[in-house]
Structure 1
Amino acid sequence: MVPSMENGRIRWEDSPLVRAVKFGRTLVVDEADKAPLEVVCVLKGLIEDGEMLLGDGRRIVDRAKGTFNDDHDDDGSVICIHPRFRLWVLANRPGYPFLGNNFFSEVGDIFSTHVLDNPDPASELALLQSYAPNVSTDVLMKLCAAFSELRSMVEDGTMTYPYSTREAVAIAKHLEAFPADGVAHTLENVLAFDGYDAALRQRLRDVFGRSAHAHDDVAD
């Protein structure tokens, strides 16, 4: 259960998970790899065994498993899992820089697992264009090329941080909102933290230089 404020008073109500179970909704759990392992184990019990004990004494059960007495159906102590209930869980891969739990090794076998790679160049370009329709296609194509090279450097072990579409979108959105800033200033703004590492700064300068993006602000 979760607390909420109503008319100046705290009221306890069912959590999104419980409501999804009750009414057959789809629940999306984001950043599951950041959850403590005891929380992961609770989710595993719900999905694998079809049962969860709530803090107020109620139980969530799967009617198909027959783990409860029908006499409790009407007293509210048992919540049956709705047949349309679905759980989507999003998690990062294990290791640097996410540093969460190894979610897949703990519960990956009970989910239908799908690994999402970075988008292909054409898809990434289309995505950037949707965020920055007024930025020239040439600039966005060079941005895609630079990030593609950065990701290949992560795969071969040259770099450790997996630069994703998130950073590319941040650069595109900045260029859309502040076109007068120019590419070099925008790169410096988005990648400023990385500028404190001299070796990484030089690699970034080389990559964006090969893609014809001035990166002197970060390099210097």
Structure 2
Amino acid sequence: MNKKEALIQEIQEAFKGVKLDEGIGLWEAQGHDDRVSDVECKKLRAKDEKEDWNNIPLIHLYQCSSSLTFFDAKGMRFHTPMFLLYAIGVFQKEQEELQKKGLLNGCSDPDIENRLQTITDYAQDSLGYQQLYTKPFSLFSGKQLKCILKFLEFKLSELEMYYKSNDAKELGLLPTAVKYNKDYMQLQEALNCWIHNFKIEYVLK
């Protein structure tokens, strides 16, 4: 089992059986983003998957990409696994089909990597940190939080692999140069921030 397969399995197991309950749903969160009325939010919520996050259509992640900023704790816990699986390429073929059909035109990328990485931007902003990280991720179990760490590590390993590739070699990049890559450094900083701020017992690889 390679790193990607292992991560997929861990995400599936850690979030197995998680339901939305009364948490903010994917479409409902769009209502919060658009600042529509409570009545309109309830109408949007009727479109939301509430029982099994595996059933959320990929296109809905694109159509509701900004929802990542507007979930409450239950909403974040319910939707995070789908966003993580998307970010590691699990739905690549389906994504390509949607692109061919033009169904993703005008849609933003459902970028959970950025959502997790920007934790470092709020290190000195206690109110912003509480609203964007402490509260939304407060219901995550230890295993679920570790999935976030392993996801960030996976993204680090992707960059490391690129710097070892022939493409990087042709550009004159040494494998050790990855340590000076801006994205790599930001991922490392975010990883350490998650471990420290959420007090996760974790040994970095």
Structure with greater proportional helix content? 2
- Which structure has the larger Rg? 1
Structure with greater proportional strand content? 1
Higher relative contact order (CA 8 A, sep 6+): 2
